[in-house]
Each structure stands twice: as C-alpha cells, then as structure tokens.
C-alpha cells in the first residue's frame, strides 16, 4: 500500500512540522485545526521554516511554493480525513482530547486508512483500543524541530500488524527520515532514556551541585550534546517533561522516575520554558 495523501490533526509545534515534511516530500496534506486562527498560525510557521531552508539553500524557492500549495486546511475532522491513506494525530498530550479526536476519526475515515499518533507518552495500545482498527494503529513519534531531526520512533502497539508497520516504515523513509522500531512501553525508548537524564540534571540544580548554566556546559562540552539537558527541557516544555516523567513513574511504579520537586515547583509557577519566556533560562 502506498501513502498518497495524509491528514495531520493539530497544527502546533509538532503538527506543523509533520505537515511540512510530508508536503515537502511530495505527499499532499490535509492539515486539520479547530480554529482558522490556529491554522493560519501553523501555515505562517511552516512558511517561515521553508524560508529558512531556502535561505540556507537546502531547497529552491519553487519547492517552497509547491510545499505550501500541497497543504490544505480543514476545520473539521470528518471532511479532513476523507480520502486520505494515513491520519497522523498531533494534538495535546491529553487523553480526553485524544479520545474525542480518535473516535471522530474512526467514524469518518475510509476502511484502509492507517492511524498514527505522535504521542510522546500515552500508550499506543490504549489509543488503538479507542478505535475499531487496532491492527492499523501505530505510533509515529517525531522529534522537534521536525524538519531537522532524522528520527521517527515507530511504536508498535500490542495488535499493530506487520503490514501496517511496513507501510509506515517505508513512508518514513520517503520523508528522508530514519525509522526505528520499538514496542509499546511507557516512554518508548526515546523518553525512557531522555527524561531521566533531564530529571537528574534538575536534581543536580536542586541539590546545589551546579548552576543550570554549568550543568548544561558539562553535557555540551564533555558529551557533545547540541543543547544541555536543561536548555533542552525548556525547549520541550517543562510541563511536557513533567507529564512524561509521571507516565514513566506510574507506568513502571519505580521510584527512579520520580519527578524532581524543583521541576514540579517550576511547572506550578508557570515557568514552562521557551513557550512562557522563562524556565531554567530566560527567553525574554
Ligand atoms: N525548520 C527547518 N530548519 C530548522 C528549524 C526548523 N524548525 N530549526 C532549525 N533548523 C535548521 C537551521 O536552519 C540550521 O540549518 P544548517 O545546519 O543548515 O545551518 C540547523 O537546523 C541548526 O539550527 P541553528 O543553527 O539555528 O541552531 P543550532 O545549531 O543551535 O541547532 C537545534 C538547533 C537543531 C535545535 C539543535 O540545538 C539540536 O539538535 N538540539 C537538540 C534537539 C532535540 O534534542 N530535539 C528532540 C527533543 S525531544 C522530542 O522532540 C520528543 C518529545 O517526545 C519530547
């Protein structure tokens, strides 16, 4: 089966990046948002990121125009998923929101359509159970910034079929990404490894071992990480990091995943990182 058209639900940071890479690689996209202003914001972000790629001579300006033209905006799930071969959901990490989205998609999509969630922490097996096609349900976990990061972590739910996996693996390669298969367990592989590192960096600050700048310098200069763990936590969103740590903690019932009290306090204070202008570092 060939994926000729996709629907991306949600035009936030991940959703607009996912729409960008599909459209840029010749697969038309129906981008589904809840309000015109959110859709406009998503399209403006895609245009800005395409301009950056033109300026860096990674694509020509005709490719920018063609990419933008192959993205159609919809404000309604029923209309937006009509006639697509793959639906990728990138709505907020909230089970209530995801439940209502997947129920609506399941009713409206064609029988052959594959369902993929970009969730970073919710069980793929649980989301698949909201639909009547657990064999065609899979995780496609992209990384921010989506146009730049090579990885797609492909998460197999308990009932995901081998055929579904193969189609999604091939499609990821068409996007010039590198697919890596993992099974459905809390945090998959990416966040099971990344979040304890970030949490430990927060503990180092909490216990007065070093300042945020110095913790990050150690990891950047000693381990060649492009960003230190605290700058990365700000980039991801401290609320998102806390949510994922809680999923690991609840999922494994293992105290090694307990979120650092400082992380909890910062989220309570609304210091969520880049998106609020302040986290471990200031972005004003
Ligand atoms: N769209 C297109 N291109 C972009 C872009 C975007 N949104 N953002 C950055 N770029 C390009 C730049 O044009 C630049 O291209 P060049 O190499 O040809 O010059 C390149 O990416 C690097 O960007 P910058 O020079 O502006 O800045 P940096 O060199 O500081 O790199 C970074 C920025 C790519 C974000 C780098 O710091 C990095 O790789 N950081 C780590 C990111 C990471 O770990 N992401 C994963 C987060 S975890 C996640 O998403 C999963 C979730 O479940 C939590």
For the stretch 237-249, pLDDT in tens is: 999 999 999 999 9
Confidence of residue 163 (pLDDT cuts 50, 70, 90): very high
Q: What's residue 261's pLDDT?
A: 98
What stretch of H or E contains 246?
Answer: helix 238-252
Candidates 153, 172, 199, 278; catalytic one: 153
Q: What's residue 10's pLDDT?
A: 98
What domains can be seen in the chain, in order of their start residue?
Answer: 6-183 (3.40.50.720), 191-275 (1.10.1040.10)
Nearest residue (CA) to ligand 1, atom 23:
148
Cβ 135 vs Cβ 157: under 8 Å: no
Q: What's residue 204's pLDDT?
A: 98
What stretch of H or E contains 182?
Answer: strand 178-183
> Is 153 tagged catalytic?
yes
Distance CA 87, CA 61 (A): 28
Confidence of residue 225 (pLDDT cuts 50, 70, 90): very high
> Is 191 tagged catalytic?
yes
In percent, the amount of the chain with pLDDT more than 90 equals: 98
Looking from the CA of residue 55, the nearest atom of ligand 1 is 13
Please give the distance, rounded to the nearest whole angstrom, from the Cα atom of residue 226 to the centre of ligand 1. 9
CA-to-CA dists, residue 284 to 163, 194, 220, 229, 270, angstroms: 48, 26, 23, 20, 15
Please give the distance, rounded to the nearest whole angstrom, from the Cα atom of residue 148 to the centre of ligand 1. 6
CA-to-CA dists, residue 173 to 81, 97, 146, 261, angstroms: 23, 30, 14, 41
Distance CA 171, CA 140 (A): 11
| Tens of pLDDT, residues 93-111 | 899 999 999 999 999 999 9
Q: Residue 284 above 90 pLDDT?
A: no
Please give the distance, rounded to the nearest whole angstrom, from the Cα atom of residue 275 to the centre of ligand 1. 16
| Tens of pLDDT, residues 116-138 | 999 998 999 999 999 999 999 99
Contacts of 60 (CB under 8 A, 6+ apart): 54
Q: Residue 226 above 90 pLDDT?
A: yes
> Is 107 tagged catalytic?
no
> Is 141 tagged catalytic?
yes
- Which residue has tokens 């301009």? 51
Q: What's residue 46's pLDDT?
A: 98
- The reported pTM is 0.95
Q: Residue 1 above 90 pLDDT?
A: no
Q: Residue 43 above 90 pLDDT?
A: yes
Q: What residues are in contact with ligand 1 under a 6 Å CB criterion?
A: 49, 52-53, 56, 120, 143-145, 147-149, 191, 226-227, 232, 236, 240
Q: What is the mean pLDDT of the chain?
A: 97
């Amino acid at each position: 089966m060939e994926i000729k058209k996709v629907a991306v639900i949600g035009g936030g940071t991940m959703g607009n990046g996912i729409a960008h890479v599909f459209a840029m690689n010749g697969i038309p996209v129906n981008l589904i948002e809840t309000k015109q202003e959110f859709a406009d914001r998503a399209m403006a972000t895609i245009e800005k990121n395409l301009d950056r790629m033109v300026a860096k001579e990674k694509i020509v300006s005709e490719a920018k125009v063609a990419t933008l033209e192959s993205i159609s905006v919809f404000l309604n799930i029923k209309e937006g998923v009509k006639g697509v071969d793959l639906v990728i959901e990138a709505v907020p990490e909230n089970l209530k929101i995801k439940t209502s989205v997947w129920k609506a998609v399941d009713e409206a999509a064609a029988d052959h359509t594959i369902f993929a969630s970009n969730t970073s922490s919710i069980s793929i097996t649980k989301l698949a159970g909201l639909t009547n096609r657990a064999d065609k349900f899979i995780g496609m976990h992209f990384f921010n910034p989506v146009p730049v990061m090579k990885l797609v972590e492909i998460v197999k739910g308990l009932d995901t079929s081998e055929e579904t996996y193969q189609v999604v693996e091939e499609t990821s390669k068409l996007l010039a990404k590198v697919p890596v298969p993992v099974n459905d367990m809390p945090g998959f592989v990416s966040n099971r490894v990344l979040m304890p590192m970030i949490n430990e960096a927060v503990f180092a600050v909490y216990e007065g071992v070093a300042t945020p700048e110095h913790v990050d310098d150690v990891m950047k200069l000693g381990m060649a990480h492009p960003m230190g763990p605290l700058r990365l936590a700000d980039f991801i969103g401290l609320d998102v990091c806390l949510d994922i740590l809680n999923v690991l903690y609840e999922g494994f019932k293992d105290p090694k995943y307990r979120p650092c009290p400082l992380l909890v306090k910062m989220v309570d204070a609304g210091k969520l990182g880049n998106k609020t202008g302040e986290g471990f570092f200031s972005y004003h």
